[in-house]
Amino acid sequence: MDLFFILSKLFWVIANPGNFLILLLVLALLKGWKKLSSFCALCLLIITFYPVGNWLLQPLESRFSPPTEMPDNIAGVIVLGGAEEAELSSVWQQPQFNMAAERDMAILPLMQRYADAPIILTGGSGSVRKPEFRGADVLQSWLQGQQLGNRVIFERDSRNTFENAIYSQGVLPSGVEFNDPRGWLLVTSAFHMPRSVGIFRNQGWHVIPYPVDYYSLPASFDSWRADLGKNLHELSIGAREWLGLGAYYLTDKTDEFFPSVAQEVSLNE
């Protein structure tokens, strides 16, 4: 188990906005720091009534648009896991999916449109404590129930996006190249697409972004809603992704902090 993987998990336990604010508030109360405790309470109040996560998610989700015209010929499709609830599926003995289910839902229409193209679902376990529960196994079980399990190649060892890009090269069918100039449709959540594109490009993949699973609405000061759970969830998603962009850039897992379509063009010139 590599150090980057462990440190990233430990860091996020503290850096998660909800955890961080609660820890800071508890510390302020224990130390009697009234100004800090008031600041934490104000932050929680703002998050309760305003979707601040929109401000973080908007630039991420608008960085890459879905293809306006689908290409006639592609090298293949690669879908990043993360929509599967592996442990829950094991407990209840049926496939369970989370709010990112659009990632896996995209497989069926793409499978029909590109009948001869290889399709890879890459996703193992991102858990330090329970690595035996793997996302690819959940989708494989679900597709087998639809008699479609043989159409998809399952990569089940990767634990993060960097490993998605590396390990997927190892499951390619004979004669299929990851740097095929026709390009691979890369399917993942829209907020996760910039980091994914940067990582896959850095590993030599030629990818065509196919974002799904959107969360943000146009951000404005009057778009309030009283929903602490949802607002905090979206804030956590946005904060984690921006931190991930920075961490992957600083550790040379991508050579672009915030990849764009223009950078794709320059790379191919």
- pLDDT level of residue 1 (50, 70, 90 thresholds): low
The whole-number pLDDT of residue 263 equals: 58
**What are the tokens at 8?**
């990233």
Mean pLDDT throughout 180-186?
Answer: 96
Angular region, 32: left φ>0, alpha ψ -120 to 50, beta rest: left
Residue 81 and residue 187 in contact, taking contact as beta carbons nearer than 8 Å: no
C-alpha span between 174 and 179 (Å, rounded) = 14
The whole-number pLDDT of residue 262 equals: 64
Mean pLDDT throughout 236-245?
Answer: 97
The alpha carbon dihedral of 146, 113, 96, 164 has a sign of positive
Residue type, 189: S
Residue 210 and residue 186 in contact, taking contact as beta carbons nearer than 8 Å: yes
**What are the tokens at 178?**
């990851």
Q: Of the candidates 55, 60, 63, which has an alpha carbon nearest to the alpha carbon of residue 263?
A: 63
Which fold does the domain 67-214 belong to in CATH? Rossmann fold (3.40.50)
Task: Kindly list the domain boundaries of the chain, sorted by start residue.
Answer: 3-61+225-245, 67-214
Tell me the CA end-to-end span of the chain in Å, nearest whole number. Answer: 38
Collect all residues with Cβ–Cβ distance below 8 Å to 169 and sequence separation of at least 6. 178, 203
C-alpha span between 249 and 201 (Å, rounded) = 13
Q: Of the candidates 180, 189, 160, which has an alpha carbon nearest to the alpha carbon of residue 66?
A: 189
The whole-number pLDDT of residue 267 equals: 44
Mean pLDDT throughout 215-224?
Answer: 74
The whole-number pLDDT of residue 131 equals: 87
Mean pLDDT throughout 218-232?
Answer: 79
- For 81-97, how does the pLDDT look when each residue is reduced to its tens digit (9 = 90+)? 999 999 999 999 999 99
Residue 51 and residue 132 in contact, taking contact as beta carbons nearer than 8 Å: no
Q: Which residue has the tokens 């850039």?
A: 249
C-alpha span between 39 and 223 (Å, rounded) = 23
33: Cα separation from own chain's centroid: 37
Would you say residue 269 has pLDDT above 50? no
246: Cα separation from own chain's centroid: 15
Mean pLDDT throughout 183-188?
Answer: 97
- For 26-69, how does the pLDDT look when each residue is reduced to its tens digit (9 = 90+)? 999 999 999 999 999 999 999 999 899 999 999 999 999 988 89
The whole-number pLDDT of residue 224 equals: 75
The whole-number pLDDT of residue 3 equals: 82
C-alpha span between 249 and 243 (Å, rounded) = 10
Q: Of the candidates 171, 180, 126, 177, which has an alpha carbon nearest to the alpha carbon of residue 152?
A: 171
93: Cα separation from own chain's centroid: 25
**What are the tokens at 130?**
């329970």
269 to 7, 61, 247, 262: CA distances (angstroms): 37, 26, 28, 11
pLDDT averaged over the chain? Answer: 92
* Residues paired with residue 184 on neighbouring β-strands, in sequence order: 76, 207
- For 104-158, how does the pLDDT look when each residue is reduced to its tens digit (9 = 90+)? 999 999 999 999 999 999 999 988 888 899 999 999 999 998 889 899 999 999 9
C-alpha span between 245 and 227 (Å, rounded) = 27
Residue 202 and residue 254 in contact, taking contact as beta carbons nearer than 8 Å: yes
Q: Which residue has better confidence, 189 or 265? A: 189
Q: Which residue has the tokens 């510390």?
A: 27
Mean pLDDT throughout 152-176?
Answer: 95
The whole-number pLDDT of residue 218 equals: 74
